[in-house]
Chain A
């Protein structure tokens, strides 16, 4: 049985300039012990989708879904009290900004202790013992001393560890880690990722790892969801995603990475991610997509089958049904070059939405 199932989750914000759909029809199935990655550029709705799931969005947000179930229990029909029992205990989250999400007025030890008392009903002494245990487990030297430190007295890496200690305090079955290492140096990032994967392996904890870093995804996740402008445009195993990306956006994103380039210019994606004011019609990627034609601008693209990466696209890379002469170079079935596909060698591309073509 799956641990968490989400079907058609959407989030719309009421803003001064009208409604803004930040998350648009997101699905997710995660089995116990599995690691799923969500990648996407900033503003693609990764955080909002997960905050929506956790019920942590402000009142201006409207969250809708067909199904949200945890261990077979329908979370949509639950009372708030029942939901709170799951969230914070069985599902825990590590937030993007560690410093901002720790309460500055309380010591690290106190904040972890409170979670233990509330969710596990530990008494003060047991909570203290467990807190020290947790802090040393996440690699904090001298945990007794650090317990009494306030968040501002901790470095970025240390506060991130405290956040992790707090999140795993109640042995969650699912950990949602939102950019857990983005603010950290690479050597500390490597330590934190190792720590998270150890916990996942040792305890069979499932994990949703949100990041904009393709390298982090490659090293940690088993399955990947690529998000663009609030939509999941591709869903594949990590190996297949890097080998044969199917959505033109994924393919372009991979090609734009400097480590994949061999000297010279990097292939770029012209334009920028659409915002509230310039949301395109039909396929949201069409103004930036080199494969786009009239159909992409007028007909909402279908969800392709699993062997095509569940790509949300009329013309998935390597399986474009159009006659060869209608396909831009580098995309035809014969000239499959997934790494270069989707991106074009650019000169200095003006990055104005709508001017991409």
Chain B
């Protein structure tokens, strides 16, 4: 396997201005994050609201340059890329946003929305662009007559199809999907997840799939990266993560995810407290104020990601071998099918 994306120590620090004389506050949305994405896989990124998922997405899609660190996509180092390389990279990596309502220009017809990337990035004629757009409509399960309609005439699921169609107009290699199904109902969510799976197979796409829904992630991901307060705390193959979650935060997330099976409530360990502010993060391991395994060391030192079997995890309790095996009540074993 070859890595199509390599991120090394990526950071994104926002300066929050506080009037003329006060020193601006630094908000570290993403901190020293390193990972790779293999060609053709789906890397899922999970974590609570505000942990830096979308910020990472904006860096990966070159909407925002990282304030620190190095990003290599398809063999090209972004920081040193020439203008023509950057142009190529921008069409190789496309993004689909969370909100199917806000992401489309309400004054543009679907046809124009789909053709816009072609207009900017290719020298195709109007007729050729139209042909490509109509083909794409069929590809994402929309109909030819939708070409001349405005976004407000579509349901949430259809709008998400349009957003996906637009993202793949330039035949990208990588799609960054920022909560692509979070705003959709279960029945529509299933339609969109199937569409994404089909497109990935047919077009050999690599997905970076951002989600806070662990049941969706389990269904789509090849590997999973769990983030907490701007840093990855665990990176593991999907089966491994669900069968043998190591980081206490991963375990807490799994425990908190409601299982669609009656009578399972109560047996689980609950996380207390809320995500701390990224402006003033806790010392040491950022998870320590909420962690049942925190000790003096975790308050002072920050654990680095280290390899444990197939999993990379940043936790002293794991390193020191004092983390109990995952609680049977926490880990979901799929019930056999009738």
Contacts and interface: CB of A to CB of B under 8 A. Distances in A.
A42 B100 CA distance: 15
A348 B194 contact: yes
Interface in A157-194: 157-158, 185-191, 194
Given A256-B187, A269-B190, A215 B141 contact: no
A266 B219 contact: yes
B257 A337 contact: no
Interface string B204-229: 00000000101110111000000000
B139 to A, nearest CB: 8
B49 interface: yes
Given A261-B219, A272-B157, A348-B195, A214 B186 contact: yes
B322 interface: no
Contact of A215 (B198, B258, B263, B334): B258
B143 A350 contact: yes
Interface stretch (B10-18, B87-95, B169-177, B265-273): B265-273
Contact of A269 (B142, B187, B214, B257): B187
Interface in B122-167: 139-143, 155, 157-158, 161
B80 interface: no
A259 B260 contact: yes
B48 to A, nearest CB: 4
A185 B258 contact: no
Contacts of A214: 186, 260
Interface stretch (A58-66, A99-107, A216-224, A316-324): A216-224
Contact of A191 (B198, B219, B272): B272
Nearest to A336: B338
B261 A347 contact: no
Contacts of A185: 48-49, 212, 275
A257 interface: yes
Given A262-B337, A265-B194, A348-B140, A215 B215 contact: yes
Contacts of A26: none
Nearest to A240: B262
Given A214-B260, A215-B259, A268 B194 contact: yes
Interface residues of B, number: 53
Nearest to A239: B262
B264 A194 contact: no
Interface residues on A, range: 35 or more
Interface stretch (B61-69, B109-117, B248-256, B323-331): B248-256
A346 B191 CA distance: 8
A267 interface: yes
A88 B186 CA distance: 33
Contact of B193 (A190, A238, A258, A259): A258
Nearest to A346: B194
Nearest to B268: A190
A97 interface: no
A59 B253 CA distance: 43
B163 to A, nearest CB: 14
Contacts of B256: 186-187, 189-190
Contacts of B34: none
Nearest to A213: B258
A258 B218 contact: yes
Interface string B273-284: 011000000000
B141 A259 contact: no
Contact of A256 (B139, B140, B186, B261): B186
A218 B261 contact: yes
A2 interface: no
A108 interface: no
B258 A216 contact: yes
A349 to B, nearest CB: 6
B262 A218 contact: yes
A212 B185 contact: yes
B334 A262 contact: yes
B185 A268 contact: no
27 contacts: A41-B188, A158-B274, A185-B212, A186-B212, A197-B265, A214-B260, A218-B259, A219-B265, A220-B265, A238-B262, A239-B262, A253-B187, A256-B186, A256-B187, A257-B215, A258-B220, A259-B260, A260-B260, A265-B194, A266-B190, A268-B190, A270-B191, A339-B337, A346-B194, A350-B142, A350-B143, A351-B158
Given A238-B262, A253-B186, A350-B143, 5 more contacts: A191-B270, A212-B185, A216-B258, A239-B263, A260-B260
Nearest 5 interchain pairs by C-beta: A215-B258, A348-B141, A258-B219, A256-B190, A190-B256
Interface of B: 48-49, 139-143, 155, 157-158, 161, 185-191, 193-195, 197-198, 212, 214-216, 218-220, 252-253, 255-265, 268, 270-272, 274-275, 332, 334, 337-338
